[in-house]
Chain A
Amino acid sequence: MTGKRQAAVLQFPGTNCDLDTLRWLARNLDLDVSFVRTQEDIEKRPSGHTSVIILPGGFSFGDYLRAGALAARSPLMGWVRREAASGTAVLGICNGFQTLCESGLLAGALAPNVVRRHVHEFVTVRAEISTGTTWTPKLVSGRLLNLPISCGMGNFIAPRKNDGYQVLFRYTQNLLGSTDSIAGISNPDGNIVGMMPHPERASDPQLGSCDGLFMLDALALRLNIPLREGSPLDLWRKSHGTNTR
């Protein structure tokens, strides 16, 4: 085990954004990142030593029940729950968001899109004022991000009581039908974040949008993770300055 911070990307059967998500971290941040797929993978990791856990997008268990419903009940999620309780930064993207809601780690639920079909599109989301989370900077508001969504069940239904979560992102156009156009939320502590758009697919100038780097920038600052020199995030920070002023 090196002195670097440890990061884990979860793989459920049917997860399909695992490799791109792993690369998103590994390309930009100087940390040790690996997949966690089996019970043995967990047993190899001393508890409390994983700083970052990402639940990537995809179709865990084929999404044959409700999206994320089976993954939420898998043994891996018990480990995520324990790690999250000790403050580990957890991010669920798309299917990962659905899994976090299904497991109760985040409030609310995701229902089928109002258009009742899969939607893949680059959309604009607005970052909301928040007290800051591990994945987003403090007090940034109105910032517009161009990120892709790709989901069949991205219609976020907020719980009746509006405590228990804070809104991080809203769509400028509510294609999926979410309550108050919500695209992403966090738990009150701010260490668990879930979002439908895919920041990992918009983090490279070649792909036409670097807006997803915004989140890695915040994470790196919050957890004091060095950037890899010459990486897209390093270049982005040099040209944009960082998120938090």
Chain B
Amino acid sequence: MSANPNQSANETKTIEPKWYKLAQSFGLSADEFNRLNTLLQRMPSLEEIAVTGALWSEHCSYKSSRVHLARFHTQEPWVLQGPGENAGIVEVAQGVGLVFKMESHNHPSYIEPYQGAATGVGGILRDVFCMGARPVANMNCLRYGEGVYNAHLLKHTVRGIGDYGNSVGVPTVGGQTRFHHSYSKNILVNAFTAGLIKSDAIFRGKLQNDSAETEKQFPSKLLPNDSVTPSKRSELFPRGANLLVYFGSATGRDGVHGATMSSDTFDSSSSALRPTVQVGDPFAEKKLLEVTLALLEQKLVVGLQDMGAAGLTSSGVEMAGRSGCGVAIDLNLIPARTARLKPFEYLLSESQERMLCAVTPDKAEAVIALCKNYEVSAAVIGSVNNTGEFICIHNDSVVCTLPVEILTENAPKYTWPLQDRGEYLNSHARIERPVPATEGLTIGLKEPARRALAQVLESGKTTLAQAWPTVLAHMPELMAMPVHASKEPLTNHYCSTVQGNTISGCQTPRSCAAAVVRLDESFSPAAEGDPFAQRAPAIALAAGCQERWIELDPLNGSAQSTLLTARSIAASGGRPLGMTDCLNFGSPKQPAVMRQISDAIDGINSVAKNMRIPVVSGNVSLNNQTGTTPIPPTPMIGIVGVIDSPDHIVEILPQPACRRLYWLTSERVDALTGFHFSEMSWNVFLSNSGAVPEADFKSEANLWAFLRELRDARALGSCAVVGCGGLMMTLAELAVRSNCGLTLTAEALALTAQSAFAEGQAGVLISGAALDQQQWLNAAQNKGLRLMPVAELPDTGALPASEASLWTAASEARANSLKPYFG
């Protein structure tokens, strides 16, 4: 189905409209189609349009965000691999790398939640293990809206994530789940994987050995529809060149986006092709994981890449691009699970659990034998050559012969117009929330409670002492809101203890502000002196985003949001080492959205630079919108760190013997004045407004240093990050999780009620037997920090009966609120 290849560039000016329509169905705009014609100086074939459409897509080319992504701070001495590979790598201990990345799977999860979410997990796992790392932890960041369909989405995405990760045997240890009405028609499913690797065993997606010199490339001079003669074949598949080996599941029609085109326009005899959703097979993934790690360990392959978005096309082209060479693939050699696949379907199929690797010819047999041993199918499907082109043949005829650079370096880059920052802030100065839905997934505060709380929170002058009886009386309703409710009904779908190294995960006996996974004997560098890995370091992982702040102010909001995620690493006793971003936004063609993207990148980057947490991998998901309404800007951030010794691990709940809590914040007033953009204002007054304070990196660094000082003096009993709902809701959560009540100190009661729910740079809540000593108050003051005793957590038995029953009710509300969605 290709045009006359001999058509010259001049003639393409009179291209028939049907070609534009075809190009559009493969994601190419008219301008992009013209650009392709100009670069090729001829009409492309159908397959070439399909390949180009896939590689020039936002997902593969980052064409709208590239200009901005280039600003990221990506280098620090401990970075072993920055952006550009399948995942980033930081060194967590001598000779040990942590490979990690987060990726979105939003659209498929909205259409088919179970498989969409499951294959999201599968995809990110492959990105990590195709570099040679053993995946040791998964996390997921989820966003839902409200109503009946969202209740369905919640249930099935969670099942999909759990069933896939559990079966592959990678613990799901954390993440973040939030709710906001603007996600009702565009939920977010962002999956994160971290894996461990010896730093001398890192594999990259390339086709030639590093020692091989980049050879000069000679175009094949083939055109689509040319038949491939034996002599031409030996040029395309030269003797002695590295071979391309495909292994994993067979290829089907799943995920062929181009299949949505009206194919009968071009081939009226063929039946209409129906797109099918990708289906995950975790058993195949587990086998693929084991065989991949075995292949890499035995050094049988030169380069390897998983077939993710745009399948074979993107892995083949990206590997060729990195190695500066050409490839030829014979589509007839690809293991297929469906008969009569068309060439473009082979090229665009997103069938899951597949890998492409390059091997030297002498190793090909061993690779295939090893795959067979692991019950994974494998086949040689092509070869590296020096044409500099991505060549595909089918039935001995050329279907695609595109110079690789057209697909990579010459992909379009867009600098979409940005709304002026001042104008953006003005138009987003106040964000209103519609009255919460009352059917299906309900995410708001129940009405009588909302009114009562509105009364005591209305004035900025009301003290917490005045408001406390009302707040306490409505604690069960507050705790029942999905944002504050226990996420255990979700997380107990996830196995968080497989592999036997999870110190803090979901439902583990120990719990920290971040997820904590220790290095075991395989990776513990001090194994000789420590045969039982009892002294080994651990990794700390946290992920999340505060989209309400970012919608008000993308720059300061995303800096504060990123800092909050990093703080939970510090609060667990760790040092943050690197981050991955998963940027979920609306359409880049809207100047306001483009402002969000640009400012969010700058906000994240300010944290990366100032706190030295380089951005080493990431993913961009644009066009998350329905009609003209974009989702709130959601740059999800995953941060990894290291906890150097098990003694440094700090848990979130205070020890029973010492349940007095201190609020540690900057002396600056920001922490107390963030009520207008807080979760509480959102729920009680149905709006957020005002300025988000600039991130204060100096006091943040001081806060982390102070926590280290306490820890080294063994004076830190516990540490929790003040998060959603501010001081008050964080205290309440600690109380309920400790099976206790809450008694506020005079200092806390003297705060204004609004500041108790404020979400400025709100610091941490700590406990420790020695914290009342003057030395610590002084030490804090010297660092510009305020250490304020705020509460005791008494056993409910020690409380008056009426108060005790409120806490019991709050505890039950928190535990049970999300359960009905999983019945």
Contact = CB atoms under 8 A, between A and B. Distances in A.
Interface string B501-537: 1110011111000000010110000000001101000
A120 B495 contact: yes
Contacts of B324: none
A68 B418 CA distance: 58
A226 to B, nearest CB: 15
B286 A14 contact: yes
Nearest to B646: A206
Interface of A is mostly: mixed
A122 B521 contact: no
Contacts of B163: 118, 152
A72 to B, nearest CB: 16
B301 to A, nearest CB: 21
A16 interface: yes
Nearest to B500: A20
B266 interface: no
Interface string B545-562: 000000000000000000
A122 B532 contact: no
Contacts of B638: none
A150 B500 contact: no
A13 interface: yes
A22 B273 CA distance: 49
Nearest to B376: A13
B496 A120 contact: yes
Given A206-B646, A208-B510, A59 B283 contact: yes
Contacts of A230: 531-532
Interface string B137-163: 000000000000000000000010011
A17 B287 contact: no
B156 to A, nearest CB: 11
A120 B493 contact: yes
Contact of B166 (A13, A19, A118, A208): A118
A229 B162 CA distance: 38
A13 B169 contact: no
Interface in A55-69: 57-59, 61-64
Interface string A199-214: 0110010111100000
A13 B283 contact: yes
B497 interface: yes
Interface string A174-217: 00000000000000000000000010110010111100000000
Contact of B374 (A13, A148, A152, A206): A13
Nearest to B509: A208
Nearest to A209: B509
Given A27-B532, A118-B163, A150-B166, A206 B503 contact: yes
Interface residues of A, number: 38
A244 interface: no
B252 interface: no
A13 B822 contact: no
Given A16-B286, A117-B493, A232 B532 contact: yes
Q: Taking each of B375, B500, B532, which has the highest tally of chain A beta carbons within 10 Å of its own beta carbon?
A: B500
B375 A13 contact: yes
Nearest to B167: A59
A16 B503 CA distance: 19
A14 B164 CA distance: 12
B686 interface: no
A140 B312 CA distance: 59
A148 B493 contact: no
A38 B738 CA distance: 49
A14 B284 CA distance: 8
A24 B494 CA distance: 22
A82 interface: no
B260 interface: no
Contact of B497 (A14, A148, A228): A148
Contact of A19 (B287, B495, B499, B503): B499
Contact of A207 (B167, B281, B507, B510): B510
B282 interface: yes
Given A14-B167, A16-B286, A150-B498, A207 B509 contact: yes
B542 interface: no
B492 interface: yes
A165 to B, nearest CB: 27
B554 to A, nearest CB: 37
Contacts of B125: none
A49 interface: no
Interface string B205-229: 0000000000000000000000000
Contact of A150 (B375, B497, B518, B520): B497
A201 B500 contact: yes
A119 B493 CA distance: 5
Contacts of B282: 59, 62
B168 interface: yes
A207 B500 contact: yes
Contacts of A118: 159, 162-163, 166, 493-495
Nearest to B158: A117
B508 A17 contact: no
Interface in A1-35: 13-14, 16-17, 19-20, 23-24, 27
A17 B163 CA distance: 16
A208 B502 CA distance: 10
A61 B375 CA distance: 11
A117 B534 contact: no
Contacts of A120: 166, 491-497, 506-507
A24 B493 contact: no
A121 interface: yes
Contacts of B498: 16-17, 20, 57, 150, 201
Interface in A145-166: 146, 148, 150, 152
Contacts of B531: 228, 230
B660 to A, nearest CB: 23
B167 A63 contact: yes
Nearest to A63: B167
Contacts of B534: 206, 232
Contacts of A146: 509
A63 B169 CA distance: 13
B287 A14 contact: yes
A167 B534 CA distance: 34
10 contacts: A14-B167, A14-B287, A59-B282, A59-B283, A59-B286, A117-B159, A150-B497, A206-B518, A208-B510, A232-B532
Given A119-B493, A150-B166, A150-B495, 20 more contacts: A13-B287, A16-B286, A16-B498, A17-B169, A19-B500, A20-B501, A58-B169, A62-B281, A63-B283, A117-B162, A117-B822, A120-B495, A122-B508, A122-B509, A150-B497, A207-B501, A207-B508, A207-B509, A208-B509, A208-B510
Q: Which 7 A-B pairs have CB atoms at the shortest separation, nearest pair first?
A: A16-B169, A62-B283, A208-B509, A20-B500, A150-B495, A208-B510, A59-B167
